[in-house]
Every structure is written in structure tokens, then in C-alpha cells.
Amino acid sequence: MLATIARRVATKAIVRGAMVGAVMSVDGIPFTDLRGKLPTRQDIHYGVREESRIEGAVFHHTATRGQTLTSIAHYHTEARKWPGIAYHYAIGYDGHVFLLNDPKTISYHTQGYNSRTISIVLIGNYQNNDLSDEMKRSIIVLSSYLNTLYDLQFMWMHSETKSTACPGRNAREYLQPILHGPRP
């Protein structure tokens, strides 16, 4: 029991310290911290929670073709009128992982579940396109990292919480074996 608690505390301390920089690597996967670098609205803000309130993660895809995280953030702030980009983590086709929001942020990614979940978005449209091998590896590494860091009770796909194709047929097929916990 003490060893588990010590490992969790050490993991949180190491990863938090490392994530503050611009680019780092976790298990060979490049991570870039984009918090505070993407467009946000100044008149409204997302809510904040204690990390202990994070119970699970939800996978999404951007359903886009070539748009950048900056252009997605613009869409979320201008068209949707949200405080900022809705996702916490993003994974690019090349396997690069981006931290977009502090995990304590209660963003608008999965209606009805935002206060207790963090979101992972796959950049691109995976309804018809396949995930790259690099992206698949990053999904496994990031999922393992988040499960260890937050002792997640569940991992779901957006399509399990509402009627949507998100995160796309090909992503659903790949993600199925790593999902866990009670279904919504």
C-alpha cells in the first residue's frame, strides 16, 4: 500500500515538473505544453476542480482535415462561444502529444461528464482514416500515464456518452481494448 502511494506521489511530482517546459518526452513520446498559448476568451472562463475529482477520461477526434490546434481553439472560442479549446490532451497523427488545458480545468468536451473527466482528442478524422502507428503508441503511453497519475476509474469514447460518430469508426476499433470501468 505504501509503495503504491509513494509511486503515485513520485510519478505526479516527476511528470508535473517535466510538463511545465515547452517540449519534453515521456517514454520516447514527444509532449508539448500549449497551456496559455492557444486562443481563449477573456470575458468567460472554464471552471476549476481539485485533481481528486478527476475520475475518468473520454476519447474524441477533431473530425477535421488539416486544421491546427490554433484553428480549432478559434472555432471553439468564436463559433461555439466557449472559454477556450475544449480538450485537455491532443495526439497528432505523428504521435506528438499536446497538453492543451490544465487537467484541473472543467472544459466543455462531454456534456454531463465534464466535471469529472479529462479529454483526449485525436487530431484528424478517424471515421474513414486509419490511425498511424505513432498515434497508436502515443494513445497507449498517454492512457497508461493518465491511469497511473489519476487512478482513473474509467476510460470511455465520446460516442458512449451521446449519439455521435466521435471518435470515428477506426479509432473506436483501436480504443476498444483499452477502455475500462462502468459504461455511462
DSSP code string of 2-65: HHHHHHHHHHHHHHHHHHTSSEEEETTEEEEE-TTTS---SS---EE--GGG--EEEEEE---S
Range of the domain at 79: 2-178
Q: For residue 31, tell me if it sits in a domain.
A: yes
Tens digits of residue pLDDT in 75-134: 999 999 999 999 999 999 999 999 999 999 999 999 999 999 999 999 999 998 999 999
pLDDT value for 26: 74
Q: How does pLDDT run across 136-174, given as a tens digit for each residue? A: 999 999 999 999 999 999 999 999 999 999 999 999 999
Asked whether the predicted pLDDT for residue 40 surpasses 90, the reply is: yes
| Residue 8 forms part of a structural domain | yes
**Residue 80: which CATH number?**
3.40.80.10
Q: Is residue 146 part of a domain?
A: yes
Domain assignment present for residue 36? The answer is yes
Judge whether 183 lies within some domain: no
pLDDT at 13 over 50: no
Looking at the structure of the chain, the number of domains it has is 1
**In this predicted structure, what is the pLDDT of residue 15?**
44
In a domain, 184, yes or no: no
